[in-house]
Structure 1
Amino acid sequence: MVIILLGIGLRAYASVLPHFVAEHFGDALWAAMIYFGVRALLVRMSVLQAFLISLGFCYAIECSQLYQADWVNRIRSTLLGGLILGRGFLYVDLVRYCEGAIGAYLIDRSLVQRIA
């Protein structure tokens, strides 16, 4: 929930945030949210497996943006469709997803090690 609130805040206050933050952090937060979603749904999965699945999911969504049929573009034009499916393929998004997933993985791994 914290990541979702950060993402909403990032969009709401993009005009007052540094350009770099407003431009790049949203995709990283999205990847971190996917990682923690995978961990919440598949609690017995290792942190490394969750990392690989979440990063693969993010990459699949990004690559799906290369497909530009009318029906999927109508879905993408809605707020929820745009947030989930994105709107256009960008190579830089793959880097942003890596950064977000790696950050979430490192946070999670450190928490798991503290508990164990």
Structure 2
Amino acid sequence: MTRNRLWYCGITLAVIAVGLASRRFPAMLPAAAGKYPGDVLWTMMVFFGLAVIWPRLGVMRLTVAALAISYAVEFSQLYQAPWINALRTHPLGHLVLGSTFNWPDLAAYTIGAVLAMLLELALRRFAA
């Protein structure tokens, strides 16, 4: 299956918008969810962004790649050199790189990858 890059770019931008809104208006979500909806959406954004770049990549490879990138970024937060911490203080750097390692974030990323995969499969059925 070849994905429509324009549609997937739109999906990626929509996920980014929802993710930013989840941080800007946290009261719209259950307090128990904490910051984790943003982490779920971050991995979904990576998944759909990769689908734009590689529209012929299989859904399982997209899922694994999005999860690997998300985990790599999370584990990179264990590295606390002054130069990368300076990047992390900028709002965009913080959104992309995060700031502190947190084990529960890995579960949120896994949920995001699975949700993106399920949405992808639903889109395939809808398009068929």
Task: State TM-score, norm by structure 2.
Answer: 0.85
Residue 93 of structure 2 aligns to which amino acid in structure 1? G
Once residues 28 and 15 of structure 2 are traced to their aligned partners in structure 1, the CA distance between those partners, rounded to angstroms, is 19
Identity of paired residues, percent? 36
Conserved? CA contact 1:10–1:22, under 8 Å: no
2:44 matched residue in structure 1: 32
| CA positional deviation for 1:115 | 3.0
Matched, 1:42 2:54: yes
- State the superposition RMSD in angstroms: 1.3
2:7 matched residue in structure 1: none
2:19 matched residue in structure 1: 7
Gaps of 5+ in 2: 1-12
Conserved? CA contact 1:47–1:105, under 8 Å: yes
How many aligned residue pairs are there? 116
Which of residues 68, 77, 102 in structure 1 aligns to 2:114? 102
Distance 1:113 1:12, change over 3 A: same
Gaps of 5+ in 1: none
Task: State TM-score, norm by structure 1.
Answer: 0.93
